[in-house]
Homo-oligomer: A and B are copies of this chain.
Amino acid sequence: MYPLKELDAIVMRAIGSLKFVKEPAGLYEPLEYMMSIGGKRLRPRLCLTAFNLFSDDISSQIIQPALALEIFHNFTLLHDDIMDRADTRRGQLTVCRKWNDNVAILSGDVMCILAYKYLQACPAARTSAVLETFTEMGARVCEGQQYDMEFETQPTVTSREYIEMIGLKTAALLACSAKMGALIAGAPDAQTEALYDFGWQIGLAFQICDDYLDTFGNASVFGKKIGGDILCGKKTWLLVEAYKRASGADRVRLETVMALPSDRAAEKISAMQQLYIDLGVKEAAVSAIEDFHARALEKLEGKGFSSAQIARLREFSETLVHRED
């Protein structure tokens, strides 16, 4: 096994040397832009980390499929930004804002297709399994996005519905990333499936962490303004949990804060933060992240992983759940 930092460097180099731009430039430039504006590159890093548990032979057979995951992820972000009418992403203009919706639709489409092109580099004996895993994941991510959009107009969302939605929208891709690494390395079936389950659980932890940081993160580290979810009334883990806990006077207080107009942004954000603290939601979020993290590690038990392999996966997952950005 290589040090995690070395695997990360391989991913960063591979993404840095991706070259998409060809004719027509109007189609490929937005794609290149989207891939260049950064991100944690979490999915290819997890894929490579899972692969490296079983093999040190890091060639294009694993690097390109790992990139397929990042390209697919960026395709979904590109289309999500149209649907959410988002102006910025990672501090830069979104494609739909820098160009227009039509450009974002079509450049997104070609990204989805190019993701499949990068998958093709996997060993021929694994093509069917990789294709199946990837395609099933793709449908799930769309289903998750659909539920997320439906939640916007749904009066209440239960914890169960919320976890199901982020499972589809976020965890399925992390699960697929871990599984694909194992598949391409030719890992035993039981370990391959265990890595899928591990990826799913850390995906849930990751998303709740995202929700937490949007409200309680350190603005200078987090990279975007704190309180965005509060201002747009997004049904995050925190809000779903608050509705579950608040009754009587607390419920009135919750509804009152929710009803504050957006021109009283600072007041609305701090009132909601305080309410989350008072209701124990802030603390519960930290526990939920730890719980899903623990469940992720439990998925690895009894599957014949060595202690070095387990330690490596723990090292990876800890960077996700103890992150500040």
Which residues of A are interface residues toward B (Cβ below 8 A)?
A: 23-24, 26-27, 76, 79, 82-83, 101-102, 105-106, 108-110, 112-114, 116-117, 119-120, 124, 127-128, 131-132, 135-136, 138-139, 142-143, 145-147, 149-150
Contact = CB atoms under 8 A, between A and B. Distances in A.
B79 A105 contact: yes
Contact of A106 (B79, B117, B124, B136): B79
Contacts of A136: 117
A158 to B, nearest CB: 15
Chain copies in the assembled complex: 2
Nearest to A26: B146
B127 A139 contact: no
Contacts of A131: 116, 119-120, 127, 131
Given A112-B113, A131-B127, A106 B27 contact: no
Nearest to A104: B105
Given A26-B150, A83-B102, A110-B138, 11 more contacts: A27-B142, A79-B105, A83-B105, A102-B149, A105-B105, A106-B142, A106-B145, A109-B112, A113-B138, A116-B131, A131-B131
Contacts of A147: 24
A183 to B, nearest CB: 14
Given A113-B142, A147-B24, A135 B106 contact: no
A49 B108 CA distance: 33
Contacts of A142: 27, 106, 109-110, 113
Contacts of A82: 101-102, 105
A114 B137 CA distance: 11
B127 A110 contact: no
Contacts of A106: 79, 83, 142, 145-146, 149
A72 to B, nearest CB: 9
Contacts of A112: 109, 112-113
A299 B247 CA distance: 75
A215 B119 CA distance: 43
Contacts of A102: 82-83, 149
Nearest to A76: B109
Contacts of A145: 106
A122 to B, nearest CB: 9
Nearest to A116: B135
Nearest to A23: B143
Q: Which of A108, A139, A149, A150 has the most CB of B within 10 A?
A: A139
Nearest to A168: B24
